[in-house]
Amino acid sequence: MTAAGRGRLAGLRDRLDSALVAPGEARTARWVHAGVAAVVGWRLAVRDWTVLADRAPELRTHANLLGWVPDLPAAGLVAVQVLGVLAAVAAVARWRPRLAFGVAWACYLVLCGLWSSSGKVMHNDVLTVWVGAVWLFAGPPARAVPPGERAVRWGWPPRASLAVLGCIYFLTGFQKLVHSGPRWAYSDNMRWVLLEGAHTSPFGAAFPQTIANLPVMPQLLASGALLLELSAPFLLYGRWTRAPFALAVAVMHTSIWACLGLDYSAWVLTAAAVALPTGLAPWAALLSRRAGGRVARPLGPPPPA
């Protein structure tokens, strides 16, 4: 690489670093922290983790990060679940939020690791786990901190959460291209996915079968999903496109649930918790101006340079 090329890369790196660690408002850090904690607590509360106690030991693999954790009886699983839910509630209520969030996240990680250590690996909770990991290294502002106070310590955690969110969605799309190429979208791949998974649709097999047999519709659905995943880092970079991204994610995962019965609600809620605290501010300001009212003050950090 030439010296000029290295200089351009260094300049891009410096600009990205400056954008990541720019000061942000305390209220944004509070909202994102509370939102992610709420998603963790909700996922811990709604799943019946005790089914893991009925799993035969020989069916379990020990290849993942939590492979060293022994099988837990039902009472132990419930204890971890209850501890995690209570810790998540404490984090949302801002009672020792940093410690409480760490406990909730650890309980969530253990149960998700045990859940995914047998059978087909599912990714229903991986996004929430990774986004939550950001907040192990940062805490929300204390109660005494004014909501509008700006500081680097309040700016980088929400932006790091956005970066993790964008990277995971991008990698989800990128691995499709690595393993299948563009044919993942424009071939009959999605049609066969819909037909194969039709029996798990909550609306009956006829619904996804009808969509699968519509001309071009499976290819449009696959192409839209792939484009959304690959463009995630760019859509999350600017504040104007964050709210539309969260909406598009909700539509995509709802359609997956409707057609295949796969529950990716944790992805929808995590995307909303991370993207909306800053993504709604410019739209609220625009609506305020159009209504002739006072211009709303932005809720989050300025758009990255």
d(CA 294, CA 15): 33
Return the pLDDT at 305.
Answer: 40
Smallest CA-to-CA distance from 232 within 170, 182, 185 is with: 170
Return the pLDDT at 128.
Answer: 97
Return the pLDDT at 237.
Answer: 92
How many residues does this entry show for the chain?
A: 305
Contacts of 90 (CB under 8 A, 6+ apart): 96, 97, 100
Return the pLDDT at 208.
Answer: 95
Return the pLDDT at 14.
Answer: 66
Q: Which residue has the tokens 């649930």?
A: 257
Residue ranges for the chain with pLDDT beneath 50: 295-296, 304-305
d(CA 71, CA 280): 44
Q: Is 98 left (phi over 0), alpha (psi -120 to 50) or beta?
A: alpha
Q: Which residue has the tokens 């253990």?
A: 110
Smallest CA-to-CA distance from 92 within 125, 44, 56, 124 is with: 44
3-state secondary structure at position 87:
helix
Q: Could you tell me the pTM of the whole model?
A: 0.86
Return the pLDDT at 15.
Answer: 73
Return the pLDDT at 59.
Answer: 74
Q: Residue 62 in contact with residue 117, Cβ under 8 Å?
A: yes
Summarised one tens digit per residue, pLDDT across range 182-203 is 999 999 999 999 999 999 999 9
